[in-house]
């Protein structure tokens, strides 16, 4: 960053390592600020020290690509603009989060990550006393710029944020932001975003009832904010309150048809309620927005499984594993399908992969125990004559249930034998001798089950 800026200001809020010393070595002006549970106070202290005409605000785990330095230099020469809204890219190792965008190699900073969550933020603005951060957490200059009617322009220059991928939603971090979020609500009790942010925090912590109360208030304050409705529907779904969850998720989708998180959660509820056609539609719409999302793919696979379309389900679960090789749920579903199809070795391979990921998993251990025993096989034995049409209807429904189908033909003149062979049956001829037992016994003599 030293190539982009004319001065570098670092405000240390109480480091116990060599942060301040290292910053000084790179030519930064270092100031100390006693932490007071208020990010805006610390941010504003930092910009009070700035002497430049423009201010760029970054955290220690953020950077602007060198490719974009000339663009920023050009932008700050324009008159009549007080700020620029950049795109903070919160890099991820997992694309399953709602709103995640896959990396496409546009920037070298993407290396090692699968995608990012884009968040628009005004971080480049004039050094003007009217422009100050507000709110103790999720602090923004947006509010002060709106208050004073200062224009800003959105630009497609990313801030590469790497810390989100490593820290995630750790319990310590969630507790820290919960405390700050509560203080933000005290200062802004009518701010829908404050309720939303704290509600998301509580969902991430698994405190769904707390989240529901907060998110309801956010929805009441701003009914057209689709993200509050999506998170409220998600929290309600997680406590099993499907009747209230569905209208919230449907409204979120109405407000934002590309909200694949809302589509996925609505599809999940519909599948559980047995509305498989509608559930499939939700998952397919979600995949049109997020095609590499392994969770949505897995859920679509469950729909095909519930419809007894095991071949299609297998293909979908395998595709989910392409994007998320360590998906325990998809591995176990594939193991069950392979076992049903009689492909015992493949089933065992999937179970072993699952147990390697989670040796204590009860479902995987149970499947392993079942597959360890020599499987019991079942043969379907039939005697037929001129049953072409009946076999066309029957055999597709039973061929995945039995390990083999034995067809004994006693003198058909139609295409009975051909239909049986097309569906994988073993076909034998038996001259009719007016004795059903003789024909039956001939058929079971051919069985290997």
208 and 161 in a common domain: no
Percent of the residues in the chain that have a pLDDT greater than 70, as a whole number: 97
pLDDT of 402 higher than 90: no
**Per-residue pLDDT band at 313 (split at 50, 70, 90):** very high
Q: With respect to residue 70, please indicate whether it lies within any of the assigned structural domains.
A: yes
Residues 32 and 11 sit within 8 Å (Cβ to Cβ)? yes
C-alpha span between 139 and 33 (Å, rounded): 17
Most confident listed range (143-147, 191-195, 289-293, 397-401): 143-147
CA triplet 99, 103, 107: central angle to 5 degrees?
130
255 and 139 in a common domain: no
So what's the pLDDT on residue 99? 66
178 and 162 in a common domain: no
For 25-74, the pLDDT digits (tens) are: 988 999 999 998 888 999 999 999 999 999 999 999 999 999 999 999 99
Query: Which is more confident, 261 or 176?
Result: 261
Distance of CA 58 to the CA centre of its chain: 28
435 and 415 in a common domain: yes
42 and 157 in a common domain: yes
- Considering 311, 341, 371, which residue would you say is the last residue of a domain? 341
How many separate domains does the chain show?
A: 3
pTM score, whole prediction:
0.66
So what's the pLDDT on residue 224? 95
- Considering 341, 360, 388, which residue would you say is the last residue of a domain? 341
**Per-residue pLDDT band at 341 (split at 50, 70, 90):** confident
pLDDT of 94 higher than 80: no
Length of the chain: 449
The mean pLDDT of the chain is 91
162 and 204 in a common domain: no
**Per-residue pLDDT band at 208 (split at 50, 70, 90):** very high
Tokens of 396: 């597709």
C-alpha span between 38 and 118 (Å, rounded): 24
Q: Which domain, by its residues, includes 31?
A: 9-167
Q: With respect to residue 418, please indicate whether it lies within any of the assigned structural domains.
A: yes
> Average pLDDT in the 294-316 region?
94
- Considering 132, 167, 202, which residue would you say is the last residue of a domain? 167
So what's the pLDDT on residue 206? 86
């Amino acid at each position: 960053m030293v190539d982009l800026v004319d001065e570098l200001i670092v405000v240390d809020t109480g480091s116990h390592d060599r942060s301040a010393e290292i910053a000084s070595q790179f030519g930064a002006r270092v100031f100390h600020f006693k932490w007071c549970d208020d990010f805006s106070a610390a941010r504003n202290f930092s910009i009070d020290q700035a002497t430049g005409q423009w201010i760029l605000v970054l955290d220690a785990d953020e950077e602007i690509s060198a490719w974009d330095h000339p663009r920023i230099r050009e932008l700050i020469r324009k008159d009549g603009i007080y700020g620029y809204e950049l795109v903070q890219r919160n890099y991820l190792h997992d694309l399953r989060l709602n709103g995640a965008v896959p990396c496409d190699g546009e920037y070298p900073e993407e290396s090692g990550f699968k995608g990012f969550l884009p968040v628009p933020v005004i971080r480049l603005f004039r050094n003007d006393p009217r422009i100050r951060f507000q709110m103790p957490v999720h602090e923004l200059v947006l509010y002060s710029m709106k208050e004073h009617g200062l224009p800003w322009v959105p630009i497609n220059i990313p801030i590469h944020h790497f810390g989100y991928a490593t820290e995630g939603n750790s319990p310590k971090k969630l507790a820290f932001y919960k405390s700050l979020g509560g203080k933000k609500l005290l200062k802004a009790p009518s701010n829908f975003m404050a309720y939303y942010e704290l509600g998301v925090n509580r969902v991430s912590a698994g405190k769904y009832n707390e989240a529901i109360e907060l998110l309801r208030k956010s929805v009441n304050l701003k009914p057209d904010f689709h993200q509050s409705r999506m998170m409220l529907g998600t929290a309600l779904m997680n406590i099993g309150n499907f009747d209230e969850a569905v209208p919230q998720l449907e409204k979120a989708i109405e407000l934002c048809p590309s909200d694949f998180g809302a589509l996925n959660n609505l599809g999940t509820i519909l599948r559980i309620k047995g509305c498989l056609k509608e559930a499939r539609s939700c998952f397919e719409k979600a995949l049109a927005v997020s095609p590499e999302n392994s969770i949505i793919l897995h859920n679509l696979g469950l729909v095909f499984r519930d419809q007894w379309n095991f071949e299609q389900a297998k293909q979908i679960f395998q595709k989910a594993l392409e994007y998320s090789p360590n998906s325990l749920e998809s591995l176990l579903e594939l193991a069950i399908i392979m076992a049903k199809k009689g492909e015992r070795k493949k089933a065992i391979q999937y179970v072993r992969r699952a147990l390697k990921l989670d040796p204590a998993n009860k479902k995987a251990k149970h499947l392993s125990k079942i597959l360890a025993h020599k499987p019991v096989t079942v043969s379907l034995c039939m005697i037929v004559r001129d049953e072409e049409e009946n076999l066309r209807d029957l055999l597709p429904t039973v061929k995945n249930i039995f390990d083999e189908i034995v067809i004994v033909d006693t003198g058909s003149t139609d295409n009975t034998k051909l239909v049986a062979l097309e569906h994988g049956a073993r076909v034998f001829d038996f001259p009719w001798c007016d004795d059903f037992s003789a024909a039956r016994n001939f058929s079971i003599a051919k069985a290997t089950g």
